[in-house]
Amino acid sequence: MSVSRAKAWKGLFGVLILFLPALALAYSGSGPCSEQLSSHIPGRSGSASDGSGFAERIRGLHGAERDALIRDELVEGNLPGFLRRLDPVTVTGTDAAGHAVRVTFCVMPDYLSIGSDKDFLRIPMGLDTAVTVASDLGFVLPTPKMVDAIYRSSSVHLAPKPMTPGAEMTSTDYYQRHNRTVDQQRLAKGAELGRLTAGQKKDLVLTNRLRSHPGRVAIYGWHCLNGKPIQPLSTVHGLHYADYSHGIRLVSDTVFVDGRSMSIVKLLQDPQLAGLLNSEGPIPRLAGLLKELAGQGSEVRTARSQVAQRLGGDS
């Protein structure tokens, strides 16, 4: 082999060494939403309750008492495995200076649930509990604009299935019945677990209204098959309110801006970038707002202690 050809092969080998890690990532199917982004979620214990068992455990509870047990299950890792595999949602647009920007955020393929892949319950909860759980697991809630983007990116669209309104809307029985309805819809479409799915619930969302309307929960979405949401952005309900139609879609705190990773909380506070993911523009001091919302869960913390004492456990 000539000296010049040997140098050429050596140069090609060097290029391959540099690019093999990137090629491996590209062909692994994980893309930017790698398993590392869900690594803060503890492993599920072999003795953890399944969805049906947990529903029976909370059957007679409401409000803060129920939320206390929901929080404990989730932060201890009692959620199905398919939710740990995040899906990318990409938004393209311009920043405040008019520069083209591409943003990819990583979302759970379905709403937050308790249980196993074989038996899980999509579980509504108050805003303070949702924010606390999200933070503990390394996630945040979406904005309405992100909810729209998730719907557009979803490979499975389910039609909303409202139930009879009334006092029972907040009951565990309604939670279970609506959960079964959603599962039946998914199975009828032949959609396996883990495919990005939307249309089955309203979302708890982040918005500037949470600061201008303190003590309230913000909800949005429940898109019809034509892509239009049933629920406009609303803060009519109190902070701890939750009914069967509500869902918690968790979004990784790590977002990718033109391929560079950054905190999504920082992005949503950034006057230059926030408009890409929030139609209201930046949410000033969002990190502080999230701490305030989580801190408003004193009722849940008190209820947790009371429930633990009744059940003979530790608080």
Collapse the DSSP code of 237 into the 3-class scheme (helix H, G, I; strand E, B; otherwise coil) and give the result.
coil
Each domain of the chain, given as residue ranges in start order, spans 45-311
Give the contacts of 54 (CB within 8 A, at least 6 positions apart): 69, 73, 78, 114, 115, 121
**What does the pLDDT look like over 253-307, one tens digit per residue?**
999 999 999 999 999 999 999 999 999 999 999 999 999 999 876 666 565 555 5
Evaluate if residue 2 carries a pLDDT over 60: no
Distance CA 274, CA 276 (A): 5
Query: Within the chain, where are the H helices?
Result: 3-28, 51-57, 63-75, 127-137, 144-153, 172-188, 209-212, 264-269, 286-295, 298-311
**What does the pLDDT look like over 27-56, one tens digit per residue?**
334 579 999 999 999 999 999 999 999 999
For residue 59 the two structure tokens come to 């059957």
**What does the pLDDT look like over 189-220, one tens digit per residue?**
999 999 999 999 999 999 999 999 999 999 99
* pLDDT range class, residue 313, cuts 50, 70, 90: low
Give DSSP secondary structure letters for 158-178.
Answer: --------SGGGGSHHHHHHH
For residue 158 the two structure tokens come to 């389910």
